[in-house]
Amino acid sequence: MADGTYIHFVWAAYGVTGIILAAIVLMSILKHRSLKKENPE
Amino acid sequence: MSNALFALANPARFRKVGMPLLWVSSAASAALFAWGLWLALLASPADYLQQEAVRIMYIHVPAAWMALGTYSSLAFAALSFLIWRHTLAGLYIRAMAPVGAAFTAICLITGSIWGQPTWGTWWVWDARLTSVLVLFFLYAGIIALADAFENRERGLKAAAWLSLIGMVNLPVIKFSVDWWNTLHQPPSVSSFARMVEPAVDKSMLTPLLAMAGAYLFLFIALAVLRLESEIMSRRIESARMRRNHG
């Protein structure tokens, strides 16, 4: 079966998941980078 | 095992093993995501009943596993922080609560999107959905409490207590589909009997497990990165306080 029934729901779900995961990864990397610059070590 | 865990609870020792672990887990996560997405979106078959909508399972179910797993790890860290006063355990709660909240949000949103074509509704107030929503609120509460006090230690202590109290919600989530008559289906792979003989066909089980692996390695990479950030932030704060006091 590959007639694409409900495929727009699949794209929506994968899109939202991608956005949330990208956001948490990006936030973590940016925070780490800015703290590394500030670190007295 | 417990000795190794106690040894890693030392921030300096953690930082030494952290970086190699970060690179290995990031690479493993990226590889598993590539393989898992290919299997999930292209190689696996559509379901005869749910049609293409079944592909949502490959991101929804592992997110639910990670949401519960992350919470269990927070509760374990809370116990270590409150009983043995492990600094790293307190920092772990602060670092990983947003990650757990992200996994729970993915689980709730993708579940809602999956619900529309299969159940005919975006949301129902049944036991499984409601208890997962409560889990999201618990994560939000922990994030808020950890930053709610001027004194960092007090904030961590309050967040640790909430993590422990919230543990009562985990069995409710797990067994909600058995205890109550819910719209949500019972487990297909997560119980022991189902592990031996899963109700999911191999062509669908493989992408499910590949995506679960991708999430797990992402979780490990994020744990290392965010814990490192917490350790650095603490050092910066201590240095600032030393400067201010003398």
Please report residues of B whose CB lies closer than 8 A to that of A10.
Answer: 41, 52-53, 55-56
Give the residue among B166, B18, B174 at the shortest CA–CA distance from B93: B166
Please report residues of B whose CB lies closer than 8 A to that of A3.
Answer: 51
Q: B113, B225, B233: which to substitute to probe chain A, counting the most A Cβ within 10 Å? A: B113
pLDDT one-digit tens code per residue, B109-135: 999 999 999 989 999 998 899 999 999
- pLDDT of B61 > 80? The answer is yes
Which of the following CATH numbers is that of domain B23-245: 3.40.50, 3.30.70, 1.10.238, 1.20.120?
Answer: 1.20.120
ipTM for the complex? Answer: 0.91
Return mean pLDDT, chain B: 88
- pLDDT of B2 > 60? The answer is no
Please report residues of A whose CB lies closer than 8 A to that of B60.
Answer: 13
Backbone angles phi, psi at B47, to 5 degrees: -80, 150
Interface of B with A in 69-128 (CB under 8 A): 98-99, 102, 105-106, 109-110, 113-114, 116-117
Return mean pLDDT, chain A: 88
Beta-carbon separation of A10 and B56 below 8 A: yes
Please count the other Cβ atoms lying within 10 Å of the Cβ belonging to residue B211: 25
Beta-carbon separation of A25 and B102 below 8 A: no
Residue ranges of domains in chain B? 23-245
- pLDDT of B236 > 90? The answer is no
| pLDDT confidence bin for A9, thresholds 50/70/90 | very high
How large is the average pLDDT for residues B27-38? Answer: 97
Query: Distance between CA atoms of B131 and B44, rounded to whole angstroms?
Result: 31
How large is the average pLDDT for residues B171-185? Answer: 81
pLDDT at A1: 41
